[in-house]
Amino acid sequence: MTSALAQLTRSPPGRRRRQARIEICWLLLGLLWLCLATGCVTIRPDQAPSTARLESSQTIVPARLLSNFFIVETKWHGEGPYRLLIDTGSSATLVSADLARRFKVKDKKPPKTVPVHSANGGVAMLESVTLRKLWIGNATFEQVPARVYDFQDLSSHLGLKIDGAIGFPVFRDTLLTLDYPGSRLILTPRILPATRTGATISFNNNQSVPLIPVQMGNESFIVLIDTGSDGSLSLNPVGLHPKFAHGPRPGPLVATLAGDRVQMVGRLGQSLLIGPYTVDQPIADLTDELSSIGGELLKHFVLTFDQKRNQVTFSPPVDDPIRMEPRRSTGLSFSRTPAYWRVLNVVPGTPTSQVQTGDLCVRINGETVEQWPWERYAELVKTAKSITYTFLAGTREYDLEIPTFDLVP
């Protein structure tokens, strides 16, 4: 898949009508099945929650923002390092088959499988396991319910092996801080910190994920805070009246657990209010699922989640309105391996008509694709006027110079 107001700022006229819409939204929350964008799942808890043990008053773990995903590296019982995606948008924890084999509770019974609902309404069956322990820095989580998931597609997309996605309920016994600007995760015991700057907003946690109201123009609606999405605002327009300054237009391919879909993306002509904070004309991806805010928007904040009090605190580095950068592109989406990048999708109506889905790219600007990790390539797309791709046709290589452009100005 690829938040908001405890107290909405609004003018007096129409105040009661907007308040009524907020109350109706809260009543409807219990009826919703939620989904995790970019391969997302929602599972009703069927096992006892895990317990947390912190060896110190504060656990700080360096994080890496990769394609706007919040990823930490950690060792489990001296083994690893393993790369874990922190996913507040999921009620379930997913781990690779390797982690499950090494750390699950041994059971003589046949493996149990459970249905998992994806963002596009599909259903997959995943093996259910219980992890003896899960380690993040010097914090230990015991008896963690998890599902076994193949992260190969996500790993190929990022060009980096991902070993797990840690769901929101794992952190119920701690204060979880995701410091996007500082690239770090902070865990503290579940007590009220001495100082907490920013805006604190109540969230609904009935489905074991954080849901909050936001405001767009004169309309209020509910969003999921989804750190497991690399997008900005995923907007379900039903019942709303969004106005676009640019678009919406077809965008790149988005992967989900049960299939892929093409984005419809644009820049809103309205601002989004998250508590007292203004996101000026955010980029929005239209969806028919629950609206959510993902890493592209959340990276402007420090987020602290308190599941005991069902509160989240948003702390931006500055109080100025947030303006999201244009989304640059060459119109190509890739699946990455060290030897080549395979074209997954070509955005229609862009200067890439000579490229087709399935084509293999072996060099970028004369360097092998292995020399282009995600961060370096993303910076190139942002700053270069054009990029020269070397494609493979049988045993023959040929170059194509493709201009970059603002997919969303």
CATH topology for 1-324?
Cathepsin D, subunit A; domain 1 (2.40.70)
Instruction: Give the helix/strand (H/E) hosting 399.
Output: strand 396-403
pLDDT (tens digit per residue) in 373-405: 888 999 999 999 999 999 998 889 999 999 999
The predicted pLDDT at position 261 comes to 67
245 contacts 408 by C-beta, under 8 angstroms: no
Q: Provide the residue ranges of all domains of the chain, joining segments of one domain with +.
A: 1-324, 327-408
What region does 394 belong to: left with phi over 0, alpha with psi -120 to 50, or beta? left
Say whether domain 327-408 belongs to CATH 3.40.50.720: no
Tens-place pLDDT, residues 340-369? 999 988 998 777 778 999 999 999 999 999
Which structure tokens are listed for 48? 């006892």
Do residues 336 and 27 make contact, with C-beta atoms less than 8 angstroms apart? no
Query: 3-state SS of 53-99?
Result: EECCCCEEEEEEEECCEEEEEEEECCEEEEEEEEECCCCCCEECHHH
Q: Which of 175-179, 316-320, 339-343, 397-401 has the lowest average pLDDT?
A: 316-320
Calculate the average pLDDT of the chain: 83
DSSP 8-class letter at 173? T
pLDDT at position 255 is: 55
pLDDT band at 122 (very low <50, low <70, confident <90, very high): low
Position 12 scores a pLDDT of 31
222 class by beta-carbon count within 10 Å (0-12 exposed, 13-18 middle, 19+ buried): buried
Identity of the residue numbered 302: V
Q: Report how far residue 308's alpha carbon sits from residue 172's, in angstroms, rounded to the nearest whole number.
A: 7
Query: In percent, how much of the chain has pLDDT > 70?
Result: 82
Q: Give dist(CA 206, CA 216) in Å, integer.
A: 24
pLDDT of residue 268: 97
Residue position matching structure tokens 């640019």:
246
pLDDT digits (tens, 9 = 90+) for 38-87: 334 444 444 456 676 776 678 999 999 998 999 999 988 888 899 999 99
Instruction: Give pTM, 2 decimals.
Output: 0.85
pLDDT exceeds 70 at position 328: yes
CA 407, CA 365: separation in Å to the nearest integer? 21
* Residue 151: closest CA among 209, 212, 213, 85: 85
Using pLDDT thresholds of 50, 70 and 90, give the confidence band for residue 318.
Answer: confident
Q: Choose among 207, 194, 227, 178: nearest CA to 38.
A: 227
Cα 89 from Cα 119, distance rounded (Å): 12
Check residue 193 and give its pLDDT.
54
Q: What percent of the chain has pLDDT over 90?
A: 61
